[in-house]
Structure 1
């Protein structure tokens, strides 16, 4: 068994303490971190906010609708 590190998420890792305080800018609800897609997901708003270089982009106009396929 190899001790190879796991690949980083597409958008990079996010500081866990940051995840505890971020909320959806539309609904003010909690967010779920989707590590595989590199997104912060707001189930209430049905939006997924991208993470770029470890920085969450919390602009609704940059978010992907959960009904839309991932890029």
Structure 2
């Protein structure tokens, strides 16, 4: 679980947009870029090269 204070500070590194935290999937999702950034051991991996295309 990521702290609420951290979630408020995080932004998509590609477009600087808002992110949605999906705790069950352990991902931070940018709907604008359609990318999902993994959260590994409660640490967000905010590298565009590590992001997965969003499946909706």
TM-score, length of structure 2 as denominator length: 0.93
Q: Does 1:38 align with 2:26?
A: yes
Which of the two has greater strand per residue? 2
The structure having more radius of gyration, on CA atoms, is: 1
Task: State the Cα distance separating 1:49 from its structure 2 match.
Answer: 0.3
Alignment of 1:14-25 (within 5 A): 14-25=2-13
Task: State the Cα distance separating 1:16 from its structure 2 match.
Answer: 1.2
Task: State the Cα distance separating 1:15 from its structure 2 match.
Answer: 1.4
Moved over 2 A (4+): none
Task: State the Cα distance separating 1:35 from its structure 2 match.
Answer: 1.1
RMSD (Å) for aligned C-alpha atoms: 0.7
Stretches of structure 2 lacking an aligned partner (at least 5 in a row): none
Stretches of structure 1 lacking an aligned partner (at least 5 in a row): 1-12
Aligned length: 55
